[in-house]
Amino acid sequence: MILILGCNSVDVIEIRDNHKSTETCISLLSEFLSTFDIIKDVVTSENIFNPDKLTVLPIGAELVYLDTTFFDGDGMDVLIRFGDLGISPHGLLCKDNKYRSGGILLSLDQDYLLDNSTLKISLSTDEPFYSGDGEHMTKLTGGIKFQRIATDRIKVKCNEFKLVNSEADISMSADLDIIEVKSSTLDELEDHICVGGDIELKSGLESATFTITSPLQKQADYNCLRFISNGQIQVDKSSTISDIIVDFDPHQDLGCDRLITITTNGKRVFSHY
């Protein structure tokens, strides 16, 4: 139950079950986007061979070099291993304050910073990758393709990507654009990415299309990296004709939190994803 404080009274707004699936989908979308945070820390050739330069990867994570050169015609392959889930808190605590376990296979055809470079990541069921808060972990499996189409722009595509946790078992397809925004000063804390595009989620007979109507923003600062600090999504569900909008910055303060509003047919409620 959520309390909304007004000028003269206290209104109690109950978040009903029809918001639960939206919250769950937003949570899974956040876990999906967090995979970009960890891989971009590794994928430049300078960083791949200099682990000391890595800023997000935790102590205890292992880089396994399966193919170390671009010059043999089949690209470079690197496996990131975070180890087993283990006991609670599960996985390894990364420097963006998320826990991860399992493995991520990175395959690059050339240096990631070069235009037209392609990065493919594979999350295998043989060594399942998990991401979460250490207590509630989401298993992610499937493949994602990142293609750099400009110095600051990356195209992201995936089909039938799977996200499974205690709340949901969802298949995701996505067609996204990521814009990397660098600070005009030397202050890297102002760096961020903006994400646009469309996401389709399916669970059983129900499906939902997420259309990003205002770019989703993620800050580079460690304290904020795991959050979506700004942006809006229009949600179209197969199970309802309601008009649903999700706002990630209801207070317009770029807050580093999980606070969102879900507006359904004009009625707005606050929630956390």
User: What would the pLDDT profile of 169-184 be if each residue is shown by its tens digit?
Assistant: 999 999 999 999 987 7
**For residue 103, what pLDDT is reported?**
96
**For residue 98, what pLDDT is reported?**
93
Helix (H) or strand (E) holding 190: none
For the stretch 21-61, pLDDT in tens is 889 999 999 999 999 888 888 887 666 766 666 678 888 99
Q: Residues for the chain: how many in total? A: 273
With cut-offs at 50, 70 and 90, classify the pLDDT of residue 189: low
C-alpha pair distances (Å), 115 with each of 140, 153, 167? 28, 9, 39
**For residue 186, what pLDDT is reported?**
63
State yes or no: pLDDT of 142 exceeds 90.
Answer: yes
**For residue 40, what pLDDT is reported?**
83
For the stretch 96-120, pLDDT in tens is 899 999 999 999 998 888 999 999 9
**For residue 5, what pLDDT is reported?**
39
Dihedral angle of Cα 146, 150, 151, 155, to the nearest 10 degrees: -20
> What is the residue extent of each domain of the chain?
2-272
Strand 137-150 relative to strand 153-164, pairing: antiparallel
The residues, any chain, with a CB within 8 Å of residue 175's CB and separated by 6 or more, are 156, 157, 197, 198
State yes or no: pLDDT of 15 exceeds 70.
Answer: no
Ramachandran angles phi, psi of 32, nearest 5°:
-60, -45
For the stretch 210-238, pLDDT in tens is 999 999 999 988 889 899 999 999 999 99
For the chain, what is the mean pLDDT?
A: 87
**For residue 45, what pLDDT is reported?**
60
**For residue 269, what pLDDT is reported?**
93
- Closest by Cα among 96, 100, 67 to 85: 100
Q: Is 6 left (phi over 0), alpha (psi -120 to 50) or beta?
A: beta
Q: Is 126 left (phi over 0), alpha (psi -120 to 50) or beta?
A: alpha
**For residue 21, what pLDDT is reported?**
84
**For residue 199, what pLDDT is reported?**
97
